[in-house]
C-alpha cells in the first residue's frame, strides 16, 4: 500500500445479520463470523503496511437492538480484546477507541482501556474501534468541548477553525479518511466519520462482512489507486 496517498482506511462492516439469516442461524452467529473477519482484515492491513484502520463496530443507534443482541456484541468485544491484545502488541498495533465510551458496560470498558493503554505508542499501525459511535454525537461532543474552553477563557471563538475543530473530535490525532469501504450492499454513510470522510473515496461492495476477505481489501485498494483525487481543485492531488 502506498503510504503517501493511502494512509487511512475506514470500514462499515455491514451484513452480519443477513449472512446468518441466509444460513438459518441466529444473528449472533453472523456477528461471531464478523469478528473472525475483523481479525483477518486487521492482520492483512498490518502486513500490507497501512497506517490507520478504523472499524465501525457498534453505533449509537445499535443500543436500540434487542437486549440479547447488544449483550452478545459486548461479549464478542470482550473476547476479541482478550484474544487480540497479545497479537496487537506482538504486531506493534496501537489500539484506539472512539465514540461515547462511557455508555459501554464496565465489563467491556475495563479490558478496552487496558488494551488501549498496553498498546499505546506502538508505531506499526493504529487500529481504531468505533464503539457506541455516531458522527452527529461526536460532533456535538466536540462542540461542547470547544464551548467549555471558550467559557473558561482558554479559547477565543475567533480561533475555532477547521483544524481546531478537528482536534476536538475523538479522532484528534488521526488523519482524514482516504478510503471508506461499506460491505453488505447498502450505499450510505450511516452516521460514520461524517467530518473525517469529507474527501474519502467511497467503495461499496455487496459482499456481506463475514465473507469479506483480504482479496476484497486488495481490490478496494487497487480501485482507490485508480481514483483521481482533486480535493475540490482542478489537478489531482497526492
Minimum Å distance from CB 142 to ligand FPP? 24
Of 60 and 174, which CB lies nearer to ligand FPP in the complex structure?
A: 60
Between 183 and 212, how does the x/- string for binding to ligand FPP read (CB under 6 A)?
A: -x------------------------x---
Active site residue 191: no
What is the C-alpha to C-alpha distance for residues 199 and 193, in angstroms, rounded to an integer?
A: 11
Using rule CB under 6 A, residue 38 touches ligand FPP: yes
Count of CA atoms in the C-beta half-sphere (13 A) of 223: 17
User: Residue from 8, 31, 109, 207 that binds ligand FPP (CB under 6 A)?
Assistant: 31
Q: Which is nearer to ligand FPP, 18 or 141 (CB)?
A: 18
Decide if residue 99 touches ligand FPP (CB under 6 A): no
Catalytic residue among 16, 62, 113, 219: 62
Q: Which residue has the closest beta carbon to ligand FPP?
A: 17
- Looking at the Cβ atoms of 63 and 199, the one nearer to ligand FPP is 63
Cα separations (Å) of 229 from 6, 204, 216, 219?
11, 18, 22, 18
From residue 127 to residue 146, the character string flagging contacts with ligand FPP as x (rule: CB under 6 A) and all else as - is: --x-----------------
Residue 62 is a catalytic residue? yes
Q: Cell numbers 475555532 correspond to what residue?
A: 160
Residue from 7, 8, 11, 16 binding ligand FPP (CB under 6 A): 16
- Is the Cβ of residue 14 or residue 201 nearer to ligand FPP in the bound state? 14
Grid cell for residue 94: 496501537
Inter-residue contact 54 to 128 (CB < 8 Å): yes
Burial class (CB in 10 A: 0-12, 13-18, 19+), 235: exposed
- Name the strand (E) or helix (H) holding 132: strand 125-133
CB-based contact 85:56 (threshold 8 Å)? no
DSSP conformation class of 152: T
Q: Which among 137, 78, 79, 85 is positioned nearest to 109, based on CA atoms? A: 78
Question: Contacts with ligand FPP in 54-83 (CB under 6 A)?
Answer: 57, 62, 76-77, 80
Contact present, 131 and 54 (Cβ < 8 Å): no
In the complex, which residues of this chain contact ligand FPP (CB under 6 A)? 13-18, 31, 34-35, 38, 57, 62, 76-77, 80, 129, 184, 209
What amino acid positions are annotated as catalytic residues?
Answer: 14, 62
Amino acid at each position: 500500500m502506498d503510504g503517501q496517498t493511502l494512509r487511512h482506511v475506514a470500514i462499515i462492516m455491514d451484513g452480519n445479520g443477513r449472512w446468518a439469516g441466509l444460513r438459518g442461524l441466529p444473528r449472533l452467529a453472523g456477528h461471531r463470523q464478523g469478528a473472525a473477519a475483523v481479525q483477518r482484515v486487521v492482520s492483512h492491513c498490518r502486513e500490507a503496511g497501512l497506517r490507520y484502520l478504523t472499524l465501525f463496530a457498534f453505533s449509537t443507534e445499535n443500543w436500540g437492538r434487542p437486549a440479547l443482541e447488544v449483550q452478545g456484541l459486548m461479549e464478542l468485544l470482550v473476547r476479541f480484546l482478550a484474544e487480540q491484545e497479545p497479537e496487537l502488541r506482538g504486531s506493534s498495533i496501537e489500539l484506539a477507541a472512539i465514540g461515547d465510551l462511557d455508555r459501554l458496560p464496565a465489563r467491556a470498558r475495563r479490558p478496552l482501556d487496558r488494551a488501549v493503554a498496553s498498546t499505546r505508542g506502538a508505531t506499526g499501525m493504529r487500529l481504531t474501534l468505533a464503539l457506541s459511535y455516531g458522527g452527529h454525537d461526536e460532533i456535538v461532543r466536540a462542540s461542547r468541548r470547544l464551548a467549555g474552553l471558550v467559557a473558561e477563557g482558554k479559547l477565543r471563538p475567533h480561533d475555532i477553525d477547521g483544524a481546531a475543530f478537528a482536534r476536538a473530535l475523538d479522532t484528534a490525532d488521526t488523519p482524514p479518511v482516504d478510503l471508506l469501504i461499506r460491505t453488505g450492499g447498502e450505499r450510505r454513510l450511516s452516521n460514520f466519520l461524517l467530518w473525517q470522510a469529507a474527501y474519502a473515496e467511497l467503495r461499496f461492495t455487496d459482499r456481506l462482512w463475514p465473507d469479506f476477505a483480504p482479496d476484497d481489501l486488495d481490490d478496494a485498494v487497487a480501485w482507490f489507486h485508480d481514483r483521481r483525487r482533486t480535493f475540490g481543485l482542478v489537478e489531482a492531488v497526492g
